[in-house]
Amino acid sequence: MVVGVSIALVFVEESRSTRVTLCTLVGVGIGVVMLVSAPALRPHPALAGRRRRGVAGFGRLLVVICWLLRVVVAGTTAAYIAWNSHSAEIQPLAAALVAVSMTLLVIAQFGQHLAGFVTAADELRGTGLVRRAGAIVVAAVSAGVAGYVADLVERLKGLVVDPVWDHAREQWGWPSFLAGVLVTLTTILVVTLLAIVVGAAMLSIAFAVGPWTRLGRLLMKYSPVKYARWLDGAYISVVGFSASFPKAPDERVVHWIYQGVRDSSGPLEPIFLKMLKDDIDKARVALAPDATVVLRAVGDHEEIVAEGLPAGAGGPLVTELLPDFPEAAALRRIRLGLHDIPLGLPSMVRVEPPEADANRDYWEKEREWEATREEPAWFSSGPSHDDLVKEVVRHPPGPPWVRERLGLPEVHLDW
């Protein structure tokens, strides 16, 4: 936002007093926005994690302190960047202020976690913490070079906007309104062409390295030209203008789409469900060739076990924990693909070996996996209260047995 304000001030010719007034208004405006965006201090009682009273009180105090500090820091940062918008030099103080503001947001999230918000710190673990640190660095750098970006925009203004304005006013004798319209359209056209060129270059690099690779997915995600492909068609969007057209599927495209499906959520096409199961079978053969792989999950509590008959005839199922199952992500993806509006996610997903077909009736030949929303027979001590809360918050409304444990009412949908 403050970078945009800096660019906007490039087009304004003002005296020092006017500039002071504008920058003060910018700072106050950003501060007011932060002030009215007060974070929540208390979670819903049924969805609150179990915390000691002192810990929860300290967490709420930490949230309030961080919120008030962010009001001051954000307002000061906005006014400072706006004041230095005409300077093309790097502004390390602006970068430091933005970094402090975003760090306060992270500390506030930790405070919410202490106050009983069990999902508040989900993004502050592992790769989530790395992404948050990267976002802080990007925001700080953007603030530090805001003046330089504004200088580039001013140069673009001198190269594109000013000549068109002067030509329309002096050579053609157009009134100011029509000249302004022409300048606006010309600027939009130039920016659109630049976006198309940059987007086409990013997509070309993505397809060269492979759109299923990490670099390819990153380039396609942030490209101004959006390209999406499904099994029998493709979609392309350029600055708001989009079109779709049919395309015949091939093995390379199916593999590309499958890699994206593994990293997403939502319903699964049968072909991708089968590909997920094939990956699970390959991992199962190496660890437990004749066993059924079972995922039992609620919230952050997760168990992957192998179920199989003991050596010899008959007897109860033998269960073995698989703590390092290589295709755990495929099991989780199948679970996410089975989300049901009134029932939430299944608490257990069983993937049976292909050899189990011989023991099924004719009408069950294609049932190589099954899911249930009843409470599983846990291998360990079972999920905690926080895990039950996270299940309801992340994947509402949650399985009936989870809602019953939390004292939440049953879900009745009136279609």
Q: Is 250 in a helix, a strand, or coil?
A: coil
What is the pLDDT, as a whole number, of residue 70? 93
C-beta of residue 362 within 8 angstroms of C-beta of residue 291: no
- Domain ranges (residues) in the chain: 2-151, 174-264, 267-406
From 309, 308, 335, 303, select the one nearest 321 (Cα to Cα).
Answer: 303
Q: Which two tokens stand for residue 128?
A: 């989530």
Between the alpha carbon of residue 392 and those of residues 111, 246, 311, 342, 398, the distances in Å are 21, 39, 40, 12, 5
- My answer on whether omega of the bond before 397 falls inside 30° of 0, hence cis, is yes
What is the pLDDT, as a whole number, of residue 302? 92
pLDDT tens track for 232-271: 777 788 766 777 777 766 777 777 778 778 888 888 888 8
Q: CB-based contacts of 197: which residues, under 8 Å, 6+ apart?
A: none
From 82, 93, 72, 102, select the one nearest 144 (Cα to Cα).
Answer: 93
What is the pLDDT, as a whole number, of residue 291? 85
Owner of token pair 């673990």: 125
Which residues are bridge partners to 233 per DSSP? 230, 246
Between the alpha carbon of residue 48 and those of residues 56, 393, 399, the distances in Å are 10, 10, 18
Q: CB-based contacts of 356: which residues, under 8 Å, 6+ apart?
A: 292, 368
β-pairing, 225-230 vs 233-238, is antiparallel
What is the pLDDT, as a whole number, of residue 377? 85
Q: CB-based contacts of 93: which residues, under 8 Å, 6+ apart?
A: 80
Query: Rounded to the nearest 5°, which phi and psi values hold at 298?
Result: -150, 125
Element containing residue 292 per DSSP (H, E)? strand 292-298
From 40, 110, 98, select the one nearest 70 (Cα to Cα).
Answer: 98
d(CA 222, CA 381): 44
Query: Rounded to the nearest 5°, which phi and psi values hold at 353?
Result: -70, 155
From 373, 366, 358, select the one nearest 274 (Cα to Cα).
Answer: 366
* Model pTM above 0.75: no
Q: What is the pLDDT along the chain (415 residues), one digit of tens a residue?
A: 544 555 455 445 556 677 778 788 888 888 898 898 888 898 888 888 888 999 999 999 999 999 999 999 999 988 888 787 677 778 889 899 999 999 999 999 999 999 998 887 887 887 788 888 888 998 888 888 877 777 777 777 777 667 766 666 666 665 665 666 777 777 778 878 888 888 888 888 887 877 777 788 788 888 888 877 777 777 788 766 777 777 766 777 777 778 778 888 888 888 888 889 889 988 888 887 778 899 999 999 999 998 875 555 455 667 888 888 999 999 999 999 888 878 889 999 988 887 655 554 443 444 556 788 888 888 878 899 999 999 998 888 888 899 988 988 887 765 5
